[in-house]
Structure 1
Amino acid sequence: MTSGRDWRFWFCGFVVLLGLAMVLAGPADWLAPHQWAAAALTLGAIAFWGTGALPEPVTAFLFMALAVIGVAPPEVTFSGFLSPAFWLVFAGMIFGIAVDRTGLGARIALRLATLFGTRYAALVFGVVLSAGLLAFPMPSAMGRAVLVIPIVAALAKASGYPEGSRGYEGLILAGAFGTFIAGFAVMPANLINLVLVGAAERVLDHHFLYGEWLWRFFPVMGLLRVAMVAGLVLLLYGDPPREGSDRPPLRGPARPAEWRLGLILLLAIVGWMTDTAHGLSPAWIAMLAGGICVLPLIGVMDGKDLSTLGLGPLLYVVGILGLGAVVAESGLGVRVAEGLLSIGDLAALGAVGSFVAVTATALVVALGTTLPGAAAVMVPLAAQIADAAGLALDTVLTAIMLGCATPLLPYQAAPMVVALQLGAVPLAVGTRFTLLIAAGTILFLLPLEILWLMIVGLL
């Protein structure tokens, strides 16, 4: 066992002991016993996932086992199996095998390499730009991750960066964060946005406009943050290509299997882009496309290839989704938000101070509830917060959104988890990068966003 892993176990052991103390001695006048248990279990899961002390699927399995024993009923703990996110990961893994088996991934990757050039900087900016632009036509962050990551993985390998190399990990992070970060600035492009907008309409009768949302968030939290992603990848992961590594030759015209897979993926993309018209979840479209991929005659892979799908990524996603469901069912998220907001007098902080306090509260709540969960918890409190802080309701909702749009750890957002798993990037790598993006956002971009909101007259 390495010393690096030793400190992780010591840290996680301390967190476990702290959790036990919370369960045994937590004051009942602040949290109910079952809420203390949910808090302790959540804290432990976050510690193990954040440090990578145990493999991610092992932590997920233990979390679900402990949760179903004494914290939440099975239908809540295992609700991740019924979540569209789980089935998107399953379908995405099928697509990953299909693009590899048919050679379509390598063909697209080599075409992109020809378009972007061979320099690492050009590849990074090309991936970030392509992934980010998909936020406009494709409303599902999960769908974008499932589509983008297998192609970026093939592009990395075709450009001389084999799986596990620094250059490979950087390109996967560029694709994952490029598409996810850009989605915050495009109203229908992330689940977090949709939860906030839907809750605001249902609970507060407050309506957002597409153009208004874009104008409010895209210049700083969209464009500048995507540029920050590219800059950090170049700074941390720039790596000379390894000549000849996984560089398949592009020979002759596309084979029939490539044409069939291309058609299947094209139809899936059309289905994802038109989900507002037909109402089908991107997950069910992905499942149908994945099923077609393994059909005899018209499919592109043998059904036996399904046996190569790994259980680990699926268990991890189920555990992450179950964590959010357990916290929501226990009422812990609402109680934490109310407690944080009651600490001080919001009105005494002034407009900017109150705005920052609400954003910070949403950011902290999202650590326990995940990003969509934080939006669902905070929005019903928005009118109360607006009265206490002396801010307009629209301004409070914007502050909540900025907190929900700033993940500190990958587990808070299912699309990020999916992208890391599909790209075979270790969680520890994703955690470090997420923390760096969060630090840059908090220290530099949030002040710029506040300045921008003042310029446009919202604050």
Structure 2
Amino acid sequence: MSAAAASMVGGQGTVVAAGGLLVLCMGLWATGLVAEIVTALMFFALAMLLELAPAQTVFSGFASSAFWLVTSGMVVGLAMNRTGLGDRLARRLAAQLPASYPGFVAGLVAFSFLLAFVMPSNLGRIALMVPVVIALCDAFGLEAGRPGRTGAVLAFGIATPMLSAAILPANVPNLVMAGTAETLFGIHLGYLPYLFLHAPVLGFVKGALLVACTVLLFPDRLDGKRPELPPLPPLSGEERRLAAILTVMLGLWLSDGWHGIPPAWIGLAAAVICLLPGVGVLSPQSFGEIPLKTCFYVAALFGLTGIVNETGLGADLGHALLGLAPLEPGAPARNFATLTGLSIGFLFAATANGAPALYTALAEEFSRASGFDLMSVLMVQVVGYSTLFLPYQAPPIVMAMDLGRVSLRDATKLTLATGIVSFLAATPLAYLWFRLTGGLA
């Protein structure tokens, strides 16, 4: 490296270069001007060419357990599609849906939440279920152009990223947060404690608020008759094997506090079994159909936050934010609201996938200023990044819009209403639940 280049990236120059790389990558990821995989590879190339950090920091995302959980989630999602088990679950849902419009929407939202336990991929669930939701709308008489059809598609599309925030391995923002916390602080999150802390409010309360907003903004009614659906064929051998794999995987996730195996390695083992000849349900060649661009994107996010932390940029950003944010020890309610607001603010700049990386990199500064311990600071952000205001903040919503032929105007109307109501109603309830369960310390 030349002396001039060394001088440029040395000392304060390194912080400036890291800040420029942060703005460049987050801006491209947020706007979508360049494909996310191109931006990810650009990050790796520029970080190494400028020698902003050692290779083990730049490529630390590939060593993170969250990277492997994303990868294994892609495999499981493909298996659900290929075997037909996902479609079978959706057909069983249709048989249970009430023949009333509010019940129909509530059933779709509930199914979105339950499906996240066994199919840890937001985009996979959207790709699988939106065509099924459209078919269900047709079966229940909600033809194209009716507000109920728009409401049903959007309710499922918004529930997918919003409610899955309550389940640790179920979406990319959770994994970015968990992976960044592991990389920077050595913190490993447990599946069941995380679920217990977040599911009551972020799963159940926010789900109910989403249903209420959908029914109010897109009012419709069904004729009260349940459609006649053809009987399901018997379970195939592949479906039985996959169901067994998923049952064991979920059981081990729920009991990780007892056996101590991180969720990522359980998910990876399930993915391997799905690909084993004779035992699994996918051919090894099927791995070529996995969208690895998402995995590289996650790895790049972890590497970027590692650089932000190692260069001192995170500390500088933290001090700047603390000059504006009213954080002080002894004011837990105000601190909770402020941290939630900071997490929401990052959504507008970096979307739901990137926001946890930025917030988590500053968590130590927030912890010192608020008096909360580091784990509490990390958990508060989940309340924030699960509060979505605009469709672009969560790629699964955009994908649901495209598949369901829903206008941006309608999607924005529902995301904005749900975001405002969630912030005003669910955030105070989350604070009370955190206090009741010891989630704030």
The question of a shared fold, defined as TM-score above 0.5 by the shorter chain, is answered with yes
Deviation readout 1:293-343 (Å, 9 max, x if unpaired): 222222222222222223322222222333333323333223222232235
Match of 2:255 among 274, 279, 282: 274
- Tell me the distance in 2 between the aligned counterparts of 1:445 and 1:175: 17
Does residue 329 (structure 1) correspond to residue 310 (structure 2)? The answer is yes
Counterpart for residue 179 of structure 1: 164
Counterpart for residue 43 of structure 1: 23
CA RMSD, Structure 1 to Structure 2 (Å): 5.2
Does residue 320 (structure 1) correspond to residue 301 (structure 2)? The answer is yes
Aligned-pair CA distance for 1:92? 2.0
Does residue 111 (structure 1) correspond to residue 58 (structure 2)? The answer is no
Structure 1 residues 171 and 109: alpha-carbon distance in aligned structure 2, compared to 1, 3 A threshold = same
Contact preservation (8 Å) 1:333, 1:365: no
Aligned length: 392
Does residue 302 (structure 1) correspond to residue 277 (structure 2)? The answer is no
Aligned-pair CA distance for 1:452? 9.1
Aligned-pair CA distance for 1:160? 5.8
Counterpart for residue 156 of structure 1: 133
Match of 1:265 among 240, 243, 246: 246
Contact preservation (8 Å) 2:308, 2:361: no
Structure 1 residues 404 and 339: alpha-carbon distance in aligned structure 2, compared to 1, 3 A threshold = farther
Structure 1 residues 148 and 65: alpha-carbon distance in aligned structure 2, compared to 1, 3 A threshold = same
Aligned-pair CA distance for 1:73? 2.8
Counterpart for residue 383 of structure 2: 405
Aligned-pair CA distance for 1:404? 5.0
- Tell me the distance in 2 between the aligned counterparts of 1:131 and 1:332: 38
After superposition, residues 53-452 of structure 1 pair within 5 angstroms as 53-70=33-50, 71-117=52-98, 121-132=102-113, 143=120, 152=129, 155-156=132-133, 159=136, 170-181=155-166, 223-231=204-212, 250-343=231-324, 356-357=337-338, 359-361=340-342, 370-371=355-356, 374-375=359-360, 377-379=362-364, 382-386=367-371, 401-403=379-381, 405-407=383-385, 438-442=419-423, 445-446=426-427
Structure 1 residues 257 and 231: alpha-carbon distance in aligned structure 2, compared to 1, 3 A threshold = same
Q: Which runs of 5+ in 1 are unaligned?
A: 1-25, 203-209, 242-247, 387-392, 411-415
Contact preservation (8 Å) 2:177, 2:356: yes
Deviation readout 1:33-71 (Å, 9 max, x if unpaired): 222222222222222222222222222222232223223
Identity of aligned residues (%): 28
Aligned-pair CA distance for 1:291? 1.5
Structure 1 residues 299 and 232: alpha-carbon distance in aligned structure 2, compared to 1, 3 A threshold = same
Deviation readout 1:337-374 (Å, 9 max, x if unpaired): 22322358867998866665455456557868843763
- Tell me the distance in 2 between the aligned counterparts of 1:55 and 1:274: 38
Q: Which amino acid aligns with 1:63?
A: F
Contact preservation (8 Å) 1:341, 1:361: no
Structure 1 residues 97 and 194: alpha-carbon distance in aligned structure 2, compared to 1, 3 A threshold = closer
Structure 1 residues 125 and 200: alpha-carbon distance in aligned structure 2, compared to 1, 3 A threshold = farther
Structure 1 residues 251 and 225: alpha-carbon distance in aligned structure 2, compared to 1, 3 A threshold = closer
Deviation readout 1:194-240 (Å, 9 max, x if unpaired): 999xx9999xxxxxxx79x85xx777665433333445566789999
Aligned-pair CA distance for 1:104? 1.5
- Tell me the distance in 2 between the aligned counterparts of 1:39 and 1:52: 20
Q: Which amino acid aligns with 2:72?
A: A
Instruction: Give TM-score, length-normalised by structure 1.
Output: 0.64
